[in-house]
Structure 1
Amino acid sequence: MIFYFSGTGNSRWAAELLGQCLDERIVSISETVGTSTNFTLKKDEVVGFVFPVHGWRVPRIVDEFMRTLELLDTNSQSKARHYTFCLLTAGDSIGRTMERFVKLIREVKSGATLDLNAVESVLMPESYVGLPGMDVDKPEKEHKKIEDAENAIVRFASTVKERKIRQGDVPLGWEQLKRGPIPDFFSGPVGAFFTHFLITDKPFRVESERCVQCGICAKVCPVGDIDGGKGKEPKWKNNGKCLTCFSCYHHCPHHAIEYGNRTKHKGQYFFGKRNG
């Protein structure tokens, strides 16, 4: 079973590719919001997690999901450990995101304590456009990132399929994670700044003359933060749920959504956009 969260489609694609390679079912974390987070595992079924890095940290929706997740076994008396892995997607570096995730996974309720056996991080096309100087990748770079990521994910799937065990105290792939320079600083003070000041829907606005009220933005929001739909101009609910994943911005077919003045003249990206 592979649990995933995705805003602009990068992590969904990665989870689907892993699911195909491993013949495993995938579960969207955003679709579990407001429902039961108890899942029953089959005998010898792997447990995987795939999600993007938000501000060099675990996305809030994933954090909240992990705190309520309960994994049961078909055989309620079984204490067998399930092979567990995690794959992160990022536009650049991941900082100490995986270290933060390790703390969450240890608290998951299950028949046997979960320990990560293998980890991986792959670079995917950039989608964060909320700060000056940050924009989507050029087509050539976008294509190269996806090509390299596909190769890395297929290799990682082989590791999982063969149930290769962790080496010593750290999971397979731990030392090769793309943490970037000064990861403690980025996941610490910089990540805290992102969490408290930049993860908000308040700057989002609509250019009414470009909006055709198609409802796409409301449909793609992973947390239902947009009051909209076909025939309605979108309004953000300001209810604290926004992840600032920019899915609404990137999927708008007429570029009618802006994030204050920070997204003017910037590009749009979601997985498959250039082939759509």
Structure 2
Amino acid sequence: MIFYFTGTGNTKWVAQQIRKAIGEELFYIPDLIRKGQYQFELKQNETIGFCFPTHGWQPPRIVREFITKLSFSKKNTYCWALTTCGDNMGETMTILNKDLAAIGLQATTQFAVVMPESYVCLPFMYTDTEEKEHAKINLARKMLPHIISVIRERTTGVEELVKGGTPRLYSYVIGAYFNARMVNDKKFTVDEDVCIKCGKCEKVCPVDNIQGTPPEWIHNGRCTSCLACYHYCPVHAINFGKITRKRDQYYFNKRGDQKS
């Protein structure tokens, strides 16, 4: 079974490719949380996989909180994890494995797959150029057969990660501050004269934090700063403060030219 979280579709695409190849069931974490489903019966020879984007050099809060409630019929099974990131992922997998250890699991095989950038709420953060976007996706596509082969063969001890030059600084200092102080919905706004009231932002929000048209943020404390509401808005009516007014939008297959 594969548990995944996605904001702008990068991780969903990767998880879907793996699911198609290994034939195991794919579970979207927000859907499981809505249903309160945390207990699972493992089938014979079934693996446990986690796919998620790196948020501020750490696993997303929603993934970490979900893991604390997970329970399996047996735990002596093959467990693997994959994170997508725009550049590097620091000590994300170390943090993940500490969370997994608390429920008796360890991801003994770990991957990082670089995908197009989607976080644009800091002065130095931009979406990738179209050329770079395609290059990242094409490289990810070439990596997937190897990743799938490793998972199929139940190979342990694999760590194919992109930690960056100072991973502990990224995850435990910068990332800790980012995830504690900057993951929130306080700065989201909508230009009501631009909004076409399509309701897409409400539909794509993974934590049900948006309601109505024009959208209103509920401020339920569950925002993951995935920016799905911003990126999927067809008319760029949603912004996070002033900075995203000068930023582009991205979601996987936005241009409709990527193969499944």
Q: TM-score range by the shorter chain?
A: over 0.9
Counterpart code for 1:163: R
Partner of 1:44: 45
Partner of 2:141: 150
Distance 2:237 2:124 in 1: 20
Distance 2:217 2:145 in 1: 38
Partner of 1:191: 175
Cα displacement (A) at 1:238: 1.4
The within-5 A match list for 1:96-175 is 96-108=91-103, 113-164=104-155, 166=156, 171-173=157-159
Q: Deviations over 1:49-107 (max 9, x none)?
A: 0000000011000001100001115xxxxx7x211100110001100000000111112
Cα displacement (A) at 1:47: 0.8
Local SS of the residue matching 1:51: strand
Counterpart code for 1:242: C
Distance 1:87 1:96 in 2: 13
Distance 2:115 2:97 in 1: 22
Q: Deviations over 1:170-214 (max 9, x none)?
A: x212xx410001111110110122112211101000011110111
Residue 14 of structure 2 is aligned to residue 33 of structure 1: no
Partner of 1:8: 8
Counterpart code for 1:199: V
- Superposition TM-score, scaled by structure 1 size: 0.90
Cα displacement (A) at 1:237: 1.1
Q: Deviations over 1:95-132 (max 9, x none)?
A: 00000001111122xxxx43323111010000001111
Distance 1:203 1:15 in 2: 31
Local SS of the residue matching 1:41: coil
The within-5 A match list for 1:67-82 is 67-73=68-74, 81-82=76-77
Distance 1:54 1:144 in 2: 22
Distance 1:51 1:273 in 2: 20
Partner of 1:242: 223
Partner of 1:202: 186
Cα displacement (A) at 1:153: 2.1
Provide structure 1 residue ranges, at least 5 long, that are not aligned to the other structure.
74-78
Match of 1:87 among 58, 82, 88: 82
Match of 1:256 among 234, 237, 251: 237
Partner of 2:162: 178
Distance 1:227 1:255 in 2: 18
Distance 1:240 1:201 in 2: 8
Local SS of the residue matching 2:27: strand
Larger Rg: 1
Provide structure 2 residue ranges, at least 5 long, that are not aligned to the other structure.
none
Residue 248 of structure 2 is aligned to residue 267 of structure 1: yes
Q: RMSD of the alignment, in Å? A: 1.2
Local SS of the residue matching 2:151: helix
Residue 63 of structure 2 is aligned to residue 62 of structure 1: yes
> Number of paired residues?
256
Q: Percent identity?
A: 41
Counterpart code for 2:136: K
Local SS of the residue matching 1:48: strand
Distance 1:115 1:135 in 2: 34
Distance 2:80 2:141 in 1: 17
Counterpart code for 1:182: T
